[in-house]
Amino acid sequence: ITDLQFPYAYRRGQKELAGDVYRTILRKKNLFIQAPTGTGKTLSTIFPSVKAVGEGLADKIFYLTAKTITGTVARETFSLLAEHGYQAKIIQITAKEKMCLCEEMDCNPIHCPYAKGHYDRVNDAVYDLLMKQDLFSREVLLEQAENYQVCPFEMSLDAAIWSDDIICDYNYAFDPNVYLKRFFGEGQKGDYIFLVDEAHNLVDRARDMYSAVLIKEDVLEAKRLLKTKSKKITASLESVNRALLDLKRQCDELLICTLSMTDALLGRLLRLQSVMDEFLQDPSFSEKKLSEEQFSQLLDFYFNIRSFVNVYELVDEHYLIYCDYNDNSNFCVHLQCMNPSANLEQYLAMGRSAIFFSATLLPIQYYREQLASRPEDYAIYAPSPFPGHNRLLLVGRDVSTKYSRRGAAMYARIVDYILRFVHARSGNYMVFVPSYKMLQDIYDMIASSDASQDLTLLTQNATMDEQEREEFLAHFSESPTTTTVGLCVLGGIFSEGIDLKAERLIGAVIVGTGLPMVCNENELYRQFFDGEISSFSTGSENDEATIRNTRHGFSYAYQYPGMNKVLQAAGRVIRTEQDYGCILLLDDRFLQGSYQSLFPREWFPHYTVTPETMTEHLLKFWEAHST
């Protein structure tokens, strides 16, 4: 590692970025990086981390992702360094469901040939794997597991112990239910570096990890299932049901609960968990005559109870406890983590340093508050390597997507913008709209227009499988001779994570500000971060309501998540330093100061346009890039 050199010529700002990462690891801090697309953030974080390991500052690198595709990019980056002399064991851990070699996943040795005798053969499988190669991809692990007839997922976890670089989902580092106990068990700690890719995704993921929900109807179903199997469990289930019924009587549509209101429920759940433990560990369990389906259902219920009890122990000023009814009118009790930073901090403390990075980590202070609570951590804004003249950003001044303004007249104006935009130059475009309903309305209006005769129109649907997604993207060819327009949903599968370089995508129209729908959960986020509601009180004058009374509720619940979708969609247009393209934002709210303050630096300057003046800007831009 000492002699390892950066494999390419540094892009603008890239060397400084790598230096910032190294110094952060040296000082045992955390770093938040807003890094526009094209800054080479994967290599700029991995390379200095590897150098830090070479200097003896760290033992292992955990590259944490939200999606398989970003994990693949990390694996390719480690492989690139290996081509330049880096020697290390590199593993990419894939979810158990995607690794299973059986038609249906059933880990019982009675049914799974790979589980039967697994521990007799796995040591030889891992040893052989370590001896013959350094990079353990999903394909390599599956082949080795097949050869040795062992569980590929369990073998991958054993191989990870001997690996230097571990690429895996966020869950394996931070989720209390599935974290890798080999590294993050109680009392364990190491000189680990956490590289958190696409870190904007971690806020919602972490809130889910540290939350739990209990559904009253699930308790009744478990009672029905075990009524003739165990009187003790049935009585305990009935006791839990009565506690839920007491809460239900107080809940018309939504009920905010204090800890004192739910303590009785917790006591009864602890009793239920205890008697279910006895039941499941009883060696005569097979005589209780539960079918495989019933047993699976019972285990799911048991694990949900256990998760609820464990999360309850975490409840503090960062939580909200509330009751409501789901879409099936079932009564639910929620333990909702509103700010996951304190929980994440417990896992981050098991390593040396964490680097959070994304192309859309704005406003960076919000993500610092939600992901790590230490005031001494660092934050930087990496400069974009793109020439400013390769991007044209336009904002339509006379469009609104507010519900009160939606209708045929406004949609006609939006369609006018879209048609003028895509006719300025033939090529590949994407249009992102707030909902499938609007997508269909916009599509119908475009398709019925005479100006659409020379266009190929594609639409995203809500149930696309992997093959249908690939077929959709295949229409965006590298050297198009006609114009293709893909209509997609903002925040959907095509607005993040796809990589259409050069002329595969030369323009994007983004309709609306991406605000999440108004619902109980989002309204509770808004009220919570405005300091209006709380489940937890210390009784102190300086309690949580005072501490977090920041009055940023609307921004935290709606504006920031919405703008993140907009930034991600816009980021599809320019992927490399050689790319060029146009972005059109259609909503007059983008002209407000509160939204423009969330624009990345590279979005300035931009131009406010009408359909007529937009055409002038487009023709001038495309003329400059006619070669």
Q: What's the confidence (pLDDT) of residue 550? A: 56
Task: Kindly state the percentage of the chain with pLDDT values over 90.
Answer: 78
- Ranking 103-112, 164-173, 596-605 by mean pLDDT, the lowest is 103-112
pLDDT of 546 strictly over 50: no
Confidence of residue 542 (pLDDT cuts 50, 70, 90): very low
Give residue 288's pLDDT: 58
Which tens digit of pLDDT belongs to each residue from 170-211?
999 999 999 999 898 877 889 999 999 999 999 999 999 999
CA separation for the pair 310, 304 (Å, rounded): 10
- CA-wise closest residue to 584 among 563, 598, 574, 570: 570
Burial profile 455-485: b = 16 or more Cβ within 10 angstroms, e = fewer: beebbbeeeeeeeeeeebbeebeeebeebbb
145-169: pLDDT as tens digits? 999 999 999 999 999 999 999 999 9
Q: Is the pLDDT of residue 456 over 90?
A: yes
Residue 260 · residue 300 · CB < 8 Å: no
Please report, in angstroms and rounded to a whole number, the separation of the first and last CA atoms in the chain: 43
Comparing 466-470, 567-571, 577-581, the range with the smallest average pLDDT is 577-581
Count of other CB atoms within 10 angstroms of residue 300: 12
| pLDDT of amino acid 284 | 67
Residue 285 pLDDT level (bands cut at 50, 70, 90): low
Angle, CA of 350, 353 and 358, to the nearest 5°: 120
What's the pLDDT band for 548 if we cut at 50, 70, 90?
very low
Task: Please report how the helices 408-423 and 611-624 are oriented relative to each other, as an axis angle in degrees rounded to 10.
Answer: 20
pLDDT band at residue 61 under the 50/70/90 scheme: very high
Per-residue pLDDT tens over the stretch 296-325: 888 999 999 999 999 999 999 999 999 999
pLDDT digits (tens, 9 = 90+) for 226-271: 888 888 999 999 999 999 999 999 999 999 999 999 999 999 999 9
Confidence of residue 46 (pLDDT cuts 50, 70, 90): very high
413 has pLDDT over 50: yes
pTM higher than 0.95, yes or no? no
State the pLDDT confidence band at 541, using cuts at 50, 70 and 90.
very low
Per DSSP, 350 falls in state T
Q: How far is 472 from 468, CA to CA, in rounded Å?
A: 6
Q: What is the DSSP letter of 384?
A: P
Q: How far apart are CA 28 and CA 32, in angstroms?
A: 14
pLDDT of residue 579: 87
Q: Tell me which residue of 251, 407, 424, 419 sits closest to 321, measured CA to CA.
A: 251
Q: Cα 63 to the chain's mean position, in Å?
A: 14
The average pLDDT across 348-377 equals 93
Distance CA 341, CA 73 (A): 27
Q: Alpha-carbon torsion 470, 475, 476, 479, what sign?
A: positive
Question: What's the pLDDT tens digit per position in 489-508?
Answer: 999 999 988 889 889 999 99
Res 183: pLDDT: 92
Quick one: pLDDT band at residue 12, thresholds 50, 70, 90?
Answer: confident
Classify strands 319-325 and 254-257 as parallel, antiparallel or unpaired: antiparallel
Please report, as a single letter, which amino acid is at residue 149: Q
- Cα dihedral across residues 77, 82, 87, 92: positive or negative: positive
Q: Which residues pair with 511 in a beta bridge?
A: 586
Q: Does the pLDDT at position 471 exceed 90?
A: yes
pLDDT (0 to 100) of residue 32: 97
Amino acid at 620: K
Residue 627 has pLDDT above 70, yes or no: no
| 77-91, 275-289, 415-429, 606-620: range with lowest mean pLDDT | 275-289
Cα–Cα distance for residue pair 319/96, rounded to 1 Å = 30
